[in-house]
Structure 1
């Protein structure tokens, strides 16, 4: 399965939940090896999460949303993800489906209740904002690890974690949204706790995503409960965090999900 981790916080917007396998020796690694360890971490065959989504403007005003996300690896070991918006009423029942492909970009569709139909997201819309957030449609897509050149820039502490700082530059810049990305990867977990994205045209720092919660184990899997994406030009940011239902955080791994949930029929009807 292709997964270059930009926000695997969204592997359950999945850019919320970040997971890792086992740590390895801190001795003599290069940038490619670090990112391979990030890619190969255990994330469970399925994930189900209830999440809050706060849209925060430059004055600190907050618009809150509630989304539910289901994700699984299909029989071809390719990732399928469904997102359903529950609150507020203005976005209720909006549904988003993404399917990973072996040798092509991920397929993306969105159902907007006001339109009453499913709309496919075209390649030309990749840089558009996803539902008014600071994530674009391209931010949500998986990436082939072989499509980038990696360099281990340094090792340093960030927010109490010892990290590897790795730069990734696309081999085909015309196919990517950013000129480069720089990731801070924990040595203990191989979780990205900070990600800088540099504008394709100006090559200046454009967006920063950070994990702003503790990393804890859920069902034996390391998990970050909150992450924030900030757009430096606008001062707008998007915070994603796991929410509670009936007094408990709703986050499940390796629970059976009906395959019909990942179909365009479900996208349109919700059943």
Structure 2
């Protein structure tokens, strides 16, 4: 979404929006209903283009609706916004900031995860010379201090819609120290240890934080999230900002359908205005 701005080519105070269509009394010169309809269709087309491009800000929308004295037009705009394309929904996220107040070796007290294999170290940004994302908060060294890289598994289980797309994003950096390159595996796993996963790496020790993503199709059953370090030298890749999201299961009308639906509401309103003006 971009910053607040006027619609391209739209005057700041369109004359047709100065009409009080509730009372039928013009604040300026009267605009005939047929002219109102033509102007409204043009405005609606430009408005919907902005909505579909996700560039019509909340404040600009409120200003536009406030200036609309026609209840029919306001209803049409509200309906158009209601069927605007949905954004991805976040199903789970963890930035590891709340798990501890200081760095802890071989940490097992994660709030949202179980250390299900090996060990991990909890890092409070700056601890052991390691920075978390943004230089603040917490993060995890995925190869703890026992010579056995760790796996974390979510305490929460998930049921996915078969065939629907889901997305996992993680922030990873190199180990920020020295030694060999490191890799991380992440994905979903069921009670029978059947996993759908991807591997990221090798990451050089000095590799800065970057967001890595994976997409998977939902499958029947109960699944948990997991992240696993690869290695065993007590110096692992650094994990932060885990997010699981979907693209929303709600069916969204095609832009052309949305435009026709909204314009049909306007047409109905214009017809009512013509009738009442006779």
Which TM bucket (shorter chain)?
A: under 0.3
TM-score after normalising by structure 2: 0.22
Rg larger for: 2
The structure that is strand-richer by fraction is 1
